[in-house]
Amino acid sequence: MKTKRTPAENQLRAYLKWCVNVKQLAPSTMATKRSVLGNFIIQTGIEDMSELTNKKLDRWIEKKALGQLGVRCNSTTIRTSVATIVHG
- Classify residue 79: in a domain, yes or no: yes
As a whole number, mean pLDDT of residues 59-80 equals 93
- Classify residue 2: in a domain, yes or no: no
**Count of structural domains, the chain:** 1
Answer whether 38's CB lies under 8 Å from 76's CB.
no
As a whole number, mean pLDDT of residues 40-58 equals 94
Q: Report the alpha-carbon distance of residue 62 to residue 23 in Å, rounded.
A: 31
Instruction: Please say if the pLDDT value at position 88 is more than 80.
Output: no
Q: Specify the pLDDT at position 86.
A: 86
pTM here is 0.85
Q: Specify the pLDDT at position 20.
A: 94
Q: Which domain holds residue 23?
A: 7-87
As a whole number, mean pLDDT of residues 20-28 equals 94
Q: Specify the pLDDT at position 2.
A: 72
Other C-beta atoms within 10 Å of 39: how many? 15
